[in-house]
Amino acid sequence: MEIASRRIVVTGGAGFLGSHLVERLRLAGCRHIFVPTYPECDLTRWDDVERLFKEQRPELVFHLAAAVGGIGANRANPGRFFYENAMMGIQIVEAARRFRTEKTVVLGTICAYPKFTPVPFREEDLWNGYPEETNAPYGIAKKALLVQCQAYREQYGVNAIYLLPVNLYGPRDNFDLEASHVIPALIRKCVEAVERNRAEIVLWGDGSPTREFLYVEDAAEGIVAAAERYDKPAPINLGSGVEISIRDLAEKIAALTGFAGRIVWDASQPNGQPRRCLDVSRAEAEFGFRARTPFEDGLRRTVAWYLASRQS
Domain boundaries, the chain: 7-170+213-241+275-293
Element (H, E) at 263: strand 262-266
3-state secondary structure of 61: strand
Q: Is 230 a catalytic residue?
A: no
Question: Band of the pLDDT at 5, cuts 50, 70, 90?
Answer: very high
pLDDT of residue 273: 86
Give the pLDDT band of residue 311 (cuts 50, 70, 90): confident
- CB distance 212 to 243 below 8 Å: yes
CA–CA–CA angle 191, 194, 197 (5° rounding): 145
Nearest to 236 by CA among 77, 157, 140, 121: 121
Q: Please say whether the beta carbons of 133 and 117 come within 8 A.
A: no
Across the chain, mean pLDDT equals 96
State the Cα–Cα distance between residues 108 and 124, nearest whole angstrom: 15
Cβ-based neighbour number of residue 176 at 10 Å: 13
Question: What does the pLDDT read at residue 72?
Answer: 84
Q: Counting Cβ atoms within 10 Å, is residue 83 exposed (0-12), middle (13-18) or buried (19+)?
A: middle
Catalytic one of 113, 138, 162, 306: 138
What's the CATH number of domain 7-170+213-241+275-293, 3.30.750.200, 3.40.640.10, 3.60.15.10, 3.40.50.720?
3.40.50.720
Those residues with Cβ within 8 angstroms of residue 30's Cβ, 6 or more apart along the chain or in another chain: 3, 4, 6, 8
CA distance 73 to 89: 20
pLDDT of residue 272: 85
pTM of this prediction? Answer: 0.95
Q: How far is CA 157 from CA 103, 151, 160, in A?
A: 11, 9, 9
Q: What is the pLDDT of residues 177-224, one digit of tens each?
A: 887 889 999 999 999 999 999 999 999 999 999 999 999 999 999 999
Neighbours of 30 (CB within 10 A): 19
Quickly list DSSP for 130-163.
PBPGGGHHHHHHHHHHHHHHHHHHHHH---EEEE
Residue 61 has pLDDT above 80, yes or no: yes
Instruction: Please tell me whether the peptide bond between 235 and the residue prior to it is cis, using omega within 30 degrees of 0.
Output: no
